[in-house]
Structure 1
Amino acid sequence: MLGTVLLLLALAKPVCPSPSGVTSRRAEALKKLLEVFGMEDPPPPPAHSKQPPQYMVDLFNTVANADGVTKNPDILEGNTVRSFLDKTHGEEMRFLFILSSVAKNEKILTAELHLFRLWPRASNGPKRQHFCQVSIYQVLERSELDAPGGKKLLATRLVSLQGSGWEVFAITQAVRDWTEDESNNQGLLVTVQGPGGSPLNPPPLRFASGRDHHESKKPMLVLFTDDGRRGASLPTAGFPADLQPPAPVLPAKKLTGRRSTRSLDQLQPCQRHPLSVDFEEIGWSGWIISPRGYNAYHCKGSCPFPLGENMRPTNHATVQSIINALKLSEGVSSPCCVPDKLYSINLLYFDDDENVVLKQYDDMVAGSCGCH
């Protein structure tokens, strides 16, 4: 992955005007980088200045730091969170979410219906209910909702009539049915009744609709999924907040005369160096919400004999360095300076359908370097 990024950065800002060959290589590098992010083509930027749901922004900030690096790998269930807004724009208590952007290989772990509870209507009667019963149904037959097979109960509970705020209902099995067969997706129906199931007319509790209320309160379906991608076998962990690039170790004597860059690099021991990936320079800032870029880091330097503990060598690297130093076998080079710890990053972005997605990618940041 780091090799792909290095190639991309080398081609992103050519020193001379780009001939067609360099332009072609840059396009190929961008295509390879898209493959790292599990995409064939970059999603188009939203048609207008669209704001992501606050829930998704808050989730990103909980999971990742400002550079998108994962704070704790156990916070997120799976590696993808998808949000969908209601597409009905019609009846107040009927909702429809189009899930065509969910990949066939994605495993649905949890599905949640998020509804914003509005302030209750004023009651004219002497007695006022403190709770009401909210039920979520999967629509099976749109034209025959009241028939025995017209709808299927997914969730029900008592909801307070005090104040306003988000209510979340688990509807995992229904969404699994929809992703297996799109024709099963006839939408959702929400009913509000008295605590014992008695009718309330008009119901004192209302939820924000996609048609009449602010973007921040629109009904939303949130899916936590896993697409089966796994990183390398290197140790992975949350990214320590205080982890900074190590200070360069310079040779004790001042260098004199002309030396190649390669020679200078070989004089420095194996260590981690910055490697900036800027999504705006790449041309992806239109569809990536956060982060604007990140530091991938890369490993560079020599692994001279004898390898100290600060080189974080494996046993194999130690043996290889001895064989190389003593010339016990021809063609055996010294160990290489490579990442020995990798961290994941998170992207918050708009997909092809302008849904907001939070996706976690393994092995994207070199956390430390060692001689292997």
Structure 2
Amino acid sequence: MRCFQGPILLVLLLAWMPACPGRPSGAQPDDSADTRAQALKQLLEVFGMEGTPQLPQRIPEPPQYMVDLYNTVAGDDGVTKDPDLLEGNTVRSYLDRTHSDQMHFLFILSSMAKNERVLTAELHLFKLKARAADGQLLMRQHFCQVSVYQVLDKENLDSPDGKKLLSARLLAVQGSGWEIFAITEAVRDWAEEETSNQGLLVTVRGLGGAEMDSSTVQFASGRDHHESKKPMLVLFTDDGRRGATLATNSFSGTSQQNAILPEPLTSPKFNRTRNARSVDTPLPCQKHPLFVDFEEIGWAGWIISPRGYNAYHCRGSCPFPLGQNMRPTNHGTVQSIINALKLSQVVTGPCCVPDKLYSINLLYFDDDENVVLKQYSDMVAGSCGCH
């Protein structure tokens, strides 16, 4: 029987560690550039990526909304505070691609995976302070109606089939700050048929329906305003990769080590450590630190947060008889008894494995320089037991 030592992302990276009973002690990976490349390739697959994003030398500032959202759902180490805080497991942000000073916006969703299910889509616009044409701060109209349309035919916007109303509400003329409009219906259409994406149109009218001076109520554009105020589409999706063991988490790792990849297996340090363990009394099953450092593996350029996290791993013996401090399953207890009584030649003792796993969150840039917040299940060993 082979025993699984830790979260799936570390299958290759942890292959050098002492094995559970029954694992061939001579099975060691070839410590070469090919092994490292294969390990990082599998790590990318765990994160649902085909390759590392290629970014320009000047990396843009991430939208503050995405940074604040990450800090809301994740601790400093990326471990999820509460899995129910996030709708789905992926949040993508897209900046307007028109760079126009008009109220027409275009967001390209090419980076969204085909298997992602659209849950909610929001248009985030920053409303600027009102400017009266005559310089007066007080205006006769205190409210305006802002409407957001899905463009169906940009050549015939005024025709009945030229646009579709998505969201409309009253806003204070004098107010300023971020305004959020629901546009889920449009984004679902674009996800099904990419060529249907002709953008969004925003109109501003008075309470009676009359057009208002364009200088009175304005939203920040993608051309003339700071990046922190650019129009943005925020998309909440789920890619179906949530694990069954995801649990509410009050756990946060504090112990950190500074390396992710093991030393060469032939190094004197490794051999001394392995030999010492063979003669010393084995430690009981327990959790040990294992810090995954994104800078060490060359990923710091595109991962915004965290810089690394403590995945932890389980190591130690599961001696007969198993006490409750070993957190055994009933199956593990029976297996321990069968092995101790030597009732079977093929049944080994139970293994020290994670019995509680937590999710982590990554905030990163994709290939199109969009900022993505993604939650990955079963990435941190919360506790260990004999199974």
1:279 to 1:336, Cα distance in 2 relative to 1, 3 A: same
Q: How does 1:174-193 map to 2 (within 5 A)?
A: 174-193=186-205
* Matching residue of 2:127: 117
Quote how far apart the aligned CAs of 1:48 are. 1.3
1:225 to 1:234, Cα distance in 2 relative to 1, 3 A: closer
Letter in 2 for 1:8: L
2:7 aligned to 2, 12, 28, which one? 2
In structure 2, C-alpha distance between the alignment counterparts of 1:320 and 1:90, rounded to whole Å: 68
1:130 to 1:308, Cα distance in 2 relative to 1, 3 A: same
1:90 to 1:4, Cα distance in 2 relative to 1, 3 A: closer
In structure 1, C-alpha distance between the alignment counterparts of 2:184 and 2:353, rounded to whole Å: 42
* Matching residue of 2:87: 77
In structure 1, C-alpha distance between the alignment counterparts of 2:9 and 2:90, rounded to whole Å: 23
Letter in 2 for 1:197: G
- Contact 1:144 / 1:150 at 8 angstroms: preserved in 2? yes
* Matching residue of 2:44: 34
- Contact 1:265 / 1:302 at 8 angstroms: preserved in 2? no
In structure 1, C-alpha distance between the alignment counterparts of 2:280 and 2:88, rounded to whole Å: 40
SS in 1 for 2:353: strand
Deviations 1:62-96 (A, max 9, x none): 01001111000000000000000000012421100
Deviations 1:26-59 (A, max 9, x none): 1111101100101111111344131000000000
* Matching residue of 2:251: 240
1:134 to 1:109, Cα distance in 2 relative to 1, 3 A: same
In structure 2, C-alpha distance between the alignment counterparts of 1:132 and 1:325, rounded to whole Å: 79
Letter in 2 for 1:114: H
* Matching residue of 1:285: 300
- Contact 1:266 / 1:301 at 8 angstroms: preserved in 2? no
SS in 2 for 1:35: helix
SS in 2 for 1:189: strand
1:89 aligned to 91, 99, 109, which one? 99
Provide the aligned length of Structure 1 versus Structure 2: 350
Quote how far apart the aligned CAs of 1:198 are. 1.9
Which deviates the most, 54-63 or 121-130? 121-130
Which deviates the most, 46-55 or 211-220? 46-55
Which deviates the most, 318-327 or 109-118? 318-327
1:107 aligned to 74, 94, 117, which one? 117
In structure 2, C-alpha distance between the alignment counterparts of 1:363 and 1:234, rounded to whole Å: 7
* Matching residue of 1:145: 157
1:354 aligned to 366, 369, 379, which one? 369
In structure 1, C-alpha distance between the alignment counterparts of 2:356 and 2:218, rounded to whole Å: 50
In structure 1, C-alpha distance between the alignment counterparts of 2:101 and 2:240, rounded to whole Å: 37
SS in 2 for 1:280: coil
Match status 1:201 vs 2:216: no
* Matching residue of 2:341: 326
Match status 1:268 vs 2:278: no
1:223 to 1:309, Cα distance in 2 relative to 1, 3 A: same
SS in 2 for 1:55: helix
Match status 1:316 vs 2:328: no
Identity of aligned residues (%): 70
In structure 2, C-alpha distance between the alignment counterparts of 1:259 and 1:138, rounded to whole Å: 64
Deviations 1:270-302 (A, max 9, x none): 000001111001001111111111110000000
* Matching residue of 2:311: 296
Letter in 1 for 2:345: E
- Contact 1:118 / 1:208 at 8 angstroms: preserved in 2? yes
In structure 1, C-alpha distance between the alignment counterparts of 2:77 and 2:125, rounded to whole Å: 31
Quote how far apart the aligned CAs of 1:334 are. 1.2
How high is the TM-score relative to the length of structure 1?
0.89
- Contact 2:101 / 2:222 at 8 angstroms: preserved in 1? no
Deviations 1:239-285 (A, max 9, x none): 424x667xxxxxxxxxxxx9934336762110000011110010011
Tell me how large the CA RMSD over aligned residues is. 2.2
* Matching residue of 1:171: 183
SS in 2 for 1:362: strand
Deviations 1:129-162 (A, max 9, x none): 2211000011111121111211111110001123
- Contact 2:83 / 2:246 at 8 angstroms: preserved in 1? no
Quote how far apart the aligned CAs of 1:9 are. 7.0
Quote how far apart the aligned CAs of 1:319 are. 1.2
In structure 1, C-alpha distance between the alignment counterparts of 2:42 and 2:68, rounded to whole Å: 30
Structure 1, unmatched stretches of 5+, are: 12-19, 246-257
How high is the TM-score relative to the length of structure 2?
0.85
1:210 to 1:263, Cα distance in 2 relative to 1, 3 A: same
In structure 1, C-alpha distance between the alignment counterparts of 2:280 and 2:292, rounded to whole Å: 22
